Amino acid sequence: MPENIVIIGAGQAGQQAVQSLRSEGFTGAITMVGDEAYPPYQRPPLSKAYLLGSFERPRLFLKPDSFYADSGCELILSTTARAIHRADRTVELEDGRKLPYDKLLLATGARVRKLNCSGADLSGIHYLKTIADVDGLQAVFQAGKRIAIVGGGYIGLEVAAVGAKRGLDVTVFEAMDRLMARAVSPQISAFYASEHEKAGVKLKLRTGVEGFEGNGKVEYIKAGGQTYEADIVLVGIGVIPCQELAERAGLGCTDGIVVDQNARTSDPHIWSAGDCTRHVGREGHEIRLECVQNAIDQAKHAALSMTGKPKTYSEVPWFWSDQYDLKLQIAGLARPTDTLVQRGDPASRKFAVFHLRDGVVAAVEAVNAAPEYLVGKKMIAEGKMVAPEMLADTSIPMKQLG
């Protein structure tokens, strides 16, 4: 009898798994369960072009509806999986239905981290993860409104850029001493701080949020010992892996569902892919990645393993952020002890920062600098050693260095 595969999670990893399973020759039944009302869609545009209004909703969807019908994939949407019964290999849904599986893929993603402070439950405080979140924010995202953004990471700054473009009065509150501190080098942080301030965004660094006040609706934000007026609040303070279903089933979890280099969990019949997973990265350390690249590549490797063609997952991680007319592209994972080499002048709004580790390119951050990003990513994959002075010399073309 053909095998039956169930996928929990209708996101980027789930969609890629369906595509890869079929392309690898899997002919059995596939069922995908998602807790939103929509089939798999892109999340990155939500905080950028979709919020701005320049990206129509139909373009968000990764595949047309016909893809799932043509792929023989049954979609069960607006439904949550309640439990995994490993002994009889079934998934119990919230409505009591039980789905039998031979192999199971957990692609449950991550959810927003919520603030836990006074007034955090007031109306007017928004988070951004889903289409519904953005639709709710757009309803009040109007020129002249005062928006307080909690968190100076990718999401917060992307919303800040859209807010500035749309004429809102934007203030960003960041507890750390620089923007995107967990993700980028000091040079990149300083450059983006300058660009946001030029656009009229007010930055409050080293300013932790203590609470909110208002009569049923947020009117004030208390931060750094001071009180600021606010009509809207957008909170972007990171995400938490959705691992509870796996935990209840007794699978190994440590800030993510633990998987091996074939995306397999501690149960030989269950795999996991995407933001919800923790795996051993290329450098031998356990990591959890929150990015499209990992969702796609890990789902591909899960499909390979499920179809009996396991391949070790060791892809170079990559990330990006669009703010104003600036495209930040990052490849590799940086460490605080890396040697930093800057290539190009930030004043030109086109430059890159390379991270060297024992002379080898370990990561690259490129602003409007596609050649530096593309060649840098190749260097990381190949473990290429390069002289810092050559990397910094813009008269030497990147393709010559690669």
- The whole-number pLDDT of residue 279 equals 95
Please name the amino acid found at residue 282: R
Residues 6+ apart with CB under 8 A from 305: 262, 263, 264, 271, 311
- The whole-number pLDDT of residue 285 equals 86
How many percent of the chain have pLDDT more than 70?
100
Q: Specify the domain boundaries for CATH 3.50.50.60 within the chain.
A: 4-111+239-306, 125-235
How confident is residue 18, by pLDDT bands cut at 50, 70 and 90? very high
In the block, which residue shows the tokens 């990149």? Answer: 188
- The whole-number pLDDT of residue 202 equals 98
Could you tell me which CATH class the domain 125-235 is placed in? alpha beta
- The whole-number pLDDT of residue 283 equals 81
Q: CA nearest 251: which of 287, 282, 286, 276?
A: 276
DSSP code of residue 224: T
The secondary element (H helix, E strand) that includes residue 73 is: strand 73-76
Instruction: Encode pLDDT of 336-363 as tens digits.
Output: 999 999 999 999 999 999 999 999 999 9
Q: Specify the domain boundaries for CATH 3.30.390.30 within the chain.
A: 325-401
Instruction: Encode pLDDT of 199-218 as tens digits.
Output: 999 999 999 999 999 999 99
247/245 Cα distance (integer angstroms): 6
Instruction: Encode pLDDT of 45-64 as tens digits.
Output: 999 999 999 999 999 999 99
Return the C-alpha torsion angle 238, 242, 244, 246, nearest 10: -140
Instruction: Encode pLDDT of 102-127 as tens digits.
Output: 999 999 999 999 999 999 999 999 99
Q: State both tokens at 6.
A: 């169930």
How confident is residue 282, by pLDDT bands cut at 50, 70 and 90? confident
- The whole-number pLDDT of residue 236 equals 97
According to CATH, the topology of domain 325-401 is: Enolase-like; domain 1 (3.30.390)
According to CATH, the topology of domain 4-111+239-306 is: FAD/NAD(P)-binding domain (3.50.50)
- The whole-number pLDDT of residue 249 equals 98
How confident is residue 402, by pLDDT bands cut at 50, 70 and 90? confident
Segment 257-261 mean pLDDT: 97
Q: State both tokens at 54.
A: 């320049």
Asked if the model's pLDDT at residue 1 lies above 80, the reply is no
213 in Cβ contact with 119 (< 8 Å):
yes
189/365 Cα distance (integer angstroms): 11
